[in-house]
Amino acid sequence: MTNRNNASQTTANKLFLKLAPRRHSAQFYADDRYMLEAAARFVGAALERGEAGVVIATLDHRAGIAERLERRGLSVIRTREEGRYVEVDADQMLAAVMPAGRLDPIRFAEMLGDTTRRASAAARDEHHRLAVFGEAVSLLCSRGEHEAALQLEQLWNDLSQTNSCALFCGYAAGSFDRATHAEVFAKICAEHSDVLPEESYLDLKSGVDRLRYVAQLQQKAHALESEIAARKLSEQALARSEKLAEVGRLTASIAHEINNPLTSLTNLFYLINTDASLDPAARHYAALADEELRRTARITRQMLAFYRDSSSPVPCKLALVVDEVLELYEPRLRKNNITVEKQYMVEGSVEGFPAEMRQLFANLIGNAIEAIGSTGKILVRVGSAREGIDPRKQGVRVSIADTGPGISAEDQKRIFEPFFTTKGVSGTGLGLWVSRGIVEKHEGRIRFRSRPRQDGRGGTVFSIFLPVSSEHPAGNQGLDALAATG
């Protein structure tokens, strides 16, 4: 420990020789003892030259600095009596210049201006130079009042313009231990003419070691920035997921409320249709209205089903699930002039969670619609299949193909990454990531094949394999027809 301190002090002494002509410097430190040594060197050098010194610190730290000044051969009592060495309690100073919890520039100028002027007047050198060490800014930072510390540094800079003084500030490095402190940390550094890193850097003896240390710090900083960015995206996606969940609950509630009057209206139209007094034209219109009501009722039931799920897997007919999703998207498909071709060779019954199955196919069909944009075709196939890796595993394969522009080779490498999106601000980058999670939860596999559009041709095919239990075989229909979608 002694050798380490000596190495740090030797390096620091060299730096202080360079800092002597400067006006305002900052030292970050991890160990209080190192800060006390630095403050004693700074103030002690000034007192030895016949200049004056002011120390603004806590009681314990003032005692530690005075002890170290005595070790340098300086008489603290005599310099105090001469007025060349002035001690100010940092907590009392802050209380005086922040009467209402906010810095008062007038009180600061009156209190510190008077203190520095008296100390400068007592200096024995002809220029009445003054060295001021302060840790009040560090106390503010330790309380989380970083903006107040920045304002205090600015007031010190203003005061130094009217006094021939050098300023030295001590900052506990632990006061800036959060990513949110980065901006104010940079601003505080900008208020100083020189900034010294904490002692772990000064322990390094050679320039090569220091460059290596800086490189390691840069790597850690880049890694931290990446982790922070990923965490922010994750938090945003969670603020969004919670909103979607709330919207889902609200939607289900509305659908439930709408479903009751729809049932009554359906019954009324049934009675109207059986009324012999209606002429054929009115009966035709009533039948059309009844059909639209029944369709609306189906949609509300599907909306309810989207946000209701069982606590354990139940038999799911995938063809039926896909049809329910397509019916929900039907207005959008019609508006965008997109046709849907369905090839269902089997019902595709698997054990699973219906709501998750709906979410899976809603994500894929919604992506297909967005990829096509306007005018195109979606092909949906459901058939029996065997798992490609293990041909003994039987199951159901659902493929969804679109005639969109396709996915670039570069984007294909990241298609299932969380937060990766090609939709700009309108996308979360979670749809396919969630879809893959649902498939894997059901012990299945999701693959895709895409060809960027060339000569008017292109498109993307997503293929989902879901296993079936031996008690519920899916049958062998459609194996050859679906092999191409692999």
Strand partners, 26: 169, 195
The per-residue pLDDT for 289 is: 80
C-alpha pair distances (Å), 83 with each of 46, 59, 117 = 14, 19, 11
Model pTM score? 0.47
CA dist., res. 426 & res. 209, Å (int)? 47
Mean pLDDT lowest among 62-66, 230-234, 283-287: 230-234
Mean pLDDT lowest among 9-13, 152-156, 363-367, 377-381: 9-13
Cα dihedral across residues 65, 70, 76, 79: positive or negative: negative
| Mean of all residue pLDDT scores within the chain | 81
As a whole-number percent, the residues of the chain with pLDDT over 70 amount to 80
As a whole-number percent, the residues of the chain with pLDDT over 90 amount to 35
CATH of 313-483, one of 1.10.150.130, 3.40.50.300, 3.30.565.10, 3.40.50.10320: 3.30.565.10
Q: Where along the chain do its domains lie?
A: 2-203, 205-308, 313-483
Q: 3-state SS of 155-184?
A: HHHHHHCCCCEEEEEEEEHHHHCCHHHHHH
Closest CA to 351 of 243, 466, 450: 466
The per-residue pLDDT for 398 is: 95
What mean pLDDT is predicted for residues 479-483?
32
What mean pLDDT is predicted for residues 252-279?
74
The per-residue pLDDT for 51 is: 92
CATH top class, domain 205-308:
mainly alpha
pLDDT band at 377; cut points 50, 70, 90:
very high
Sheet order of strands, 376-386 included: 338-344, 376-386, 394-402, 457-467, 445-454
Q: Is the pLDDT of residue 424 over 70?
A: no
| 186-195 confidence digits (pLDDT tens) | 898 999 988 8
CATH of 2-203, one of 3.40.50.300, 3.40.190.80, 3.30.420.40, 3.40.50.1000: 3.40.50.300
